[in-house]
Amino acid sequence: MNAPVTGRTDPGHRADAARSAASVQVADTGNVQASGHAIANSGIIHELTVIRHEYPAAGPPAGPDPSRHQGGGRLGRPIGAWDPHDLEVHPAPDPAGHPGTGRGDLPTYVTRRHDRTLARLVTAAADGESGFAVLVGGPSTGKTRACWEAVQPLAARGWHLWHPSDHTQPRTTLEELERVGPRTVVWLNEAQHSLGAAGAVGGRIAQAVHALLTDPRRGPVLVLGTLWPEYVAACTVLPRPGMPDPYSRLRELLTGRTVAVPSAFDAAALKELRDRAAAGDGRLAHAATHAVGGRVTQILAGAPELVRRYEQAPPGARAVLDAAVDARRLGAGLHLRADFLRVAAFDYLGDDDAADLGEAWFDEALRHLTAPVFGGLAPFRRVRRRPEEPPAGDAAFRLADYLEYHGSRLRARACPPESFWNAVAGLVDPAEVARVADSARRRLRFGVADRLYGVALDGGYEGARLFRAQLRELAGDSTGADRLAGADLDRGDLRTLHLVAGMRRASGDWSGAERLYRAAVDHGDVSALRPLAVLRRSAGDEEETARLYWQAVQGGEHDANVLLDASPPPHWRRWAPREALSPLDEADDHQSILQGVTPHWIETKDRADPEVAERLCRIAADHGTPSALLELARLRRGAGDTERARRLCQEAADHGCGPAYKLLAELAEENGDHDDAARITARFAADQRGVTLRWYVESAAKRGDWTRAERLARVELRHGSTLGLRLLARLREPHAPAEAERLAREAAGLGDAQALRTLAVARDAGNPDGAAQLAREAADRGDPYALRTLAKARDARDPDGAAQLAREAADRGDTSAFGLLALAREAAGDPVRAERLALEAVDCGDDVVPRVLARTRARAAAQEPRPGRPPSLLERVLRAGLGPDGSLPPG
């Protein structure tokens, strides 16, 4: 969708970029940043009073090839033939509680900021340019309706829309996706079922979507999806070293293609809502009257009535609802069978409530939960089986989306009781059982997880073997772990072996790790040579280390850490084919090499030998990673060598590294040359690499020129970005808090809730109550990380207050704060709080205990050893796990 960012500045390239459709990248805060070529031609250069760069005239883009759209057997149906409710657009009942008047009946649509983003995508698609966007927001925020409204202009152009026949079956989706042809909208509502599917199939779907978008014979197409913020957060977090990375393909696909949908209407949308309500739309009038904090779409979807039914449910029905919520948030499928719910719900009842229930309590609970509450909505919806599906022995139900969302927050800090885990063992789909086993493992219910992985394995889900081996190794059952790793090795799957070997290496069992790595090498696994070499180097065997590294290079292992951190030259010469070998120069797979050229690696090399570091960073730049030179320039600047920093930065810019211009401008500004700084920034804009005025905003603010700083922030605002206002609010806080709040609220009103979060952190030291209130408001406006960020900032000054903010964050859906605070408390030498926070993190599914424990052990090892020291609570928990009910291990 986006034009590629390159370092070329030739007129033809810039003309192509200038005439391409202005693509957008929407951050998780919801504000839109126009791409570089749009900003460069927008008047910013004039605002900065710097030199202009003229572009050569460019003709109109070539139109799409009509012949590509011919042919029969098209997948999907014409857009106009779809009922929006069949595409999961929520029905909106009228104020009297009756459903809509008929097929496709929807309230009048109110446009918002994200609709403009979608409109640009649709226009580009109509002109022949394929596009892809995923709308990110909570349930009942209008994501699916926005997609439906966006594609209406394509209906008149003969476009089809394809919706997977059963999006809960990702393999079927993958097979059908391969048949999508030109002028088709691919409808991936609730994309976690397809793009985020467990195992390899999710990655294959993401790869298939990428292939569809980039194949000119199949375009133009428009791929639209929706996701909850939790799913986006889960797939964009990089896994820890040695752990599987199931979302790498999806992470690449989503980069720059997410569109935030706020949970609340901003001021402009509320005004349009009132105008349309006054024109006679009764449903909008009802929503305008009853919505709190701009949450209009939730009122239209009947969400408040669903929540009321949840909170006021009788004990039996509430137990079933809580079991259903836990099942969905811990990995069970969309369709929950009655027999599962019956068994799972029992331990959610208190003793007195259980004693008062009659024999038919479960049937009564289902009747209560399937009864409509408002306009035909109900907490549970009975699932209608498709005609081609085989008959099943029990009814199945789907939990209402909004209740799943609401209940997941309500129960974010709760771990299910034993009856829930027992019910999971009876699920039919082994992959589903394995997903829930993963959740049990992350919550340190090791006995439960081991049993469920065994059920999944017996059902034919081979992927369960990986984590079952991990549990065996944690429990000290090396024989069992070896047996599981060997079974995968015989199947050609080396992941389990690497996981177990890595655990042994981390625990100090180097001989056990080496034995496994050598078994992998014997099976032709080149990637095992590198960790094996590290073990031999730790043992002082430089000769063997060099041989293993060179064997890895010959086998195609071209990671930079292998090629550049290997043994000293004398050992290389023994194994290399010629005297003056540079492994990096010999490597063919430069992309693989450059993945290892990290800032930490550059800093390490620069400390060891600055001249060698500079040479290697130039090699990296020549092969497509000019950021290596920029990172080195930053290091030289920090060391006070500004002239060399400027030279390296100019080299990075010449290689196409856009951010290098910012550093060049800063160096010029520090030297007092304001005009040169302005010229550099203008060149950055003109070369199509994107530009931001935030550095100029900050520079003006530091000089005390607040009027100019705000004017520049508003220049950026006119071109779609609120980041300048956000920065200015933070800078104004120490001097004029009221002005800072005005600016932050203006940005938040335009969809940038993160502006309130940033101001809250800046305000916390002087006004903690006011800061907490701003963070809560940011969270309510759709910023999921506001309270977590404030908790982390507050921790050093008020750890108990930080922990309370972490609990508030968890209640709003962000459970990561406990783990962050536990690590911070351990680093601060506060083991008691670290232990308590780590255990709270466990029940939220954050397996931070091993990381806290590893740091504690490292700290203890640096101190005087204490023979016979009894194991700590976390050591006992990590060894034995928690009971199904969360009980601590004995001792």
Decide: 781 and 748 in contact? Cβ < 8 Å.
yes
Residues 259 and 338 in one domain: no
Residues 347 and 203 occupy one common structural domain: no
From residue 531, alpha-carbon distances to 502, 534, 839 in Å are 9, 5, 32
Same domain for 462 and 539, yes or no, is no
Give the pLDDT score at 578.
39
Query: In the prediction, which pLDDT does 376 show?
Result: 61
Report pLDDT digits (tens) over 175-186.
888 889 899 999
Identify the weakest region by mean pLDDT among 30-44, 120-134, 208-222, 388-402: 30-44
Q: What is the CATH number of the domain that holds 80?
A: 3.40.50.300
Same domain, 264 and 335: no
- SS3 call for 846: coil
- Number of Cβ atoms within 10 Å of the Cβ of 524: 10
Query: Within a domain: residue 756?
Result: no
Does pLDDT of 858 surpass 70? no
Q: How confident is the model at residue 890 (pLDDT cuts 50, 70, 90)?
A: confident
| Full residue range of the structural domain in which residue 864 is found | 785-891
Q: Rounded distance, CA 546 to CA 525, Å?
A: 18
- pLDDT of 805 higher than 90: yes
Residue 246 lies in a domain: yes
Say which DSSP state 66 is in: G
Of the candidates 474, 522, 471, 516, the one whose C-alpha atom is nearest the C-alpha of residue 495 is 516
- Of the residues 507, 537, 566, which one is the last residue of a structural domain? 507
Domain count, the chain: 4
- DSSP-assigned letters across all residues of 358-384: -TTHHHHHHHHHHS--BTTB-SEEEPP
Last residue of a domain, one of 561, 578, 596: 596
Q: Alpha-carbon distance 579 to 570, whole Å?
A: 9
Statement to judge: residues 357 and 265 lie in one domain: no
Separation between Cα atoms, residue 561 and residue 125, nearest integer Å: 43
Q: Is residue 243 in a domain?
A: yes
Same domain, 254 and 394: no
> Are residue 244 and residue 310 in the same domain, yes or no?
no
Helical (H) or strand (E) element with 659: helix 659-670
Sequence-distant (≥ 6) Cβ neighbours of residue 309 within 8 angstroms: 369, 373, 379
Domain membership flag for residue 474: yes
Q: Which residues share a beta bridge with 77?
A: 161
Q: CB–CB of 503/517 below 8 Å? A: no
Same-domain pairing of 819 and 868: yes
Domain identity same for 584 and 463? no
Is pTM beyond 0.85? Reply is: no
pLDDT in tens, 702-713: 888 899 888 878
Which of these ranges, 34-43, 516-525, 643-652, has the smallest mean pLDDT?
Answer: 34-43
Q: Which residue has the tokens 């369709």?
A: 335
User: Do residues 193 and 254 share a domain?
Assistant: yes
**φ, ψ dihedrals at 118, nearest 5°:** -65, -35
What string of DSSP letters covers 2-50?
PPPP-S---HHHHHHHHHS---EEE-TT--EEE-HHHHHTTTHHHHTT-
How far, CA to CA in Å, does 67 sit from each of 182, 185, 352? 10, 19, 72
Same domain, residue pair 420 and 550:
no
Please check whether residue 581 is in contact with residue 572, taking contact to mean a CB–CB distance below 8 angstroms.
Answer: yes
Quick: pLDDT tens for 186-215: 998 888 777 766 656 777 888 888 888 888
Which residue among 206, 241, 269 closes a domain?
269
SS3 call for 548: helix
Question: In terms of domains, do 443 and 559 share one?
Answer: no
pLDDT at 95: 54
Rounded alpha-carbon distances, angstroms, from residue 737 to 299, 547, 717, 758, 762 = 35, 63, 21, 13, 10
Nearest one of 104, 39, 73 to 184, comparing CA atoms: 73
Name every residue whose Cβ is closer than 8 Å to that of residue 868 and which is 6 or more positions away in sequence.
none
d(CA 276, CA 732): 38
CA neighbor of 115 nearest in space, from 137, 153, 147, 160: 147
pLDDT of 124 over the 80 cut: yes
22 assigned to some structural domain: no
Residue 399 falls inside a structural domain: yes
In a domain, 320, yes or no: yes
Residue 750: inside a domain, yes or no?
no
